[in-house]
Amino acid sequence: ENNSKSPNENDEFVLKRPCQFSEFDKSPPKIPKLASPYDNMKDDEIEDRFTDDKPPVKQTVEKPRKSRKSSVNKVRKSEMRKSVVLGQINVFEELQQLIEMKDKTIESDWEMYSYDLDNKYAIFTWFERTVRVIVKLGEKLQPTRSRKSIGMCVTHYTIESINLGPTGPEIMQDAALDTAIHLLTARFPNQSIISKCPNTHSLRSLLNEISGMVVETLELYRTLKYIEDNWVTTIQNNIVSVDFASPVLQSSFSIQVDYTHGINTAISNIQLKPKPWNSYDLSSFKKQLPGLKDLTSVCSVLWKTMQQAEADCARLK
């Protein structure tokens, strides 16, 4: 008779000793495998299933910096390829191309008048062809490539002589123009030009330097023409004389400006000389000269001073 009591739900069930699987003849029970939706999927399909639902991760890859040497080599290679395709040109063809590439030209720019490689000369002009420089060429140099030559092989030449001057004496009928051109040629003596430009490699730089001085030449020419149009003016051997006279003041004098040694020297050394019949004290005019920087200002100030003196004299009467 079995006296064992079955446990109720409220009774505490306690095992007297741990369960030992070795006490049973049968092997331990297997836990049944739950069905999974991924049972029939391959590993790579499962990986895609999880990764597709996630936002892509941006990966930044630091690009290696290119060395300056490698970039320079590429530029040189590209220039070599261009030179092979375009061939060789001479320095005067290059200068002509540079002129044509300009978006805008100004009146002080140089112009290539002509060149002849067989006779070995080139002529450049400025100032509406009133000033020219004649370049006599020497030996031909080896063609070179440079960044400024747009990748082309440029043929250069040595220079035997350079002569800067007026185009010809037959067109020098304008004394103001003659003085303005003298200002330009005095700044660039032929001996100093050849030392600056021994070959055509530095020819473009020389032309641009002369063009910079042509700006001052044009300003002086316009100044002298304005003076000639408004006052009695005489120009001879680069010396400009301007006459002033007032019958009311019994005053008559002239100023002399010598442009032989340049504009700044000329203005700082202006001379005021009385005429033979002058009886007026010119000290009030001489006081106006210091500090003036150009001939137009000098003449305008002296003329206003004379008009003011005439007005004062009229009031006293």
Q: Tell me the sheet residues that pair with 254.
A: 243, 273
Report phi then psi at 153, rounded to 5. -85, 120
Per-residue pLDDT tens, the chain, 317 aa: give them.
444 444 454 444 444 444 444 444 444 445 455 455 555 555 555 555 555 555 555 555 555 555 555 554 544 545 444 444 457 899 999 999 988 888 888 889 999 999 999 999 999 999 889 999 999 999 999 876 654 555 678 999 999 999 999 987 655 678 999 999 999 999 998 888 999 999 999 999 999 999 999 999 999 999 999 999 999 999 999 999 999 999 999 999 999 999 998 888 899 999 999 999 999 999 999 999 998 989 999 999 999 999 999 999 888 86
Kindly state the helix (H) or strand (E) to which residue 302 belongs, with its residue range: helix 295-316
Sign of the alpha-carbon dihedral angle for 86, 91, 96, 99: positive
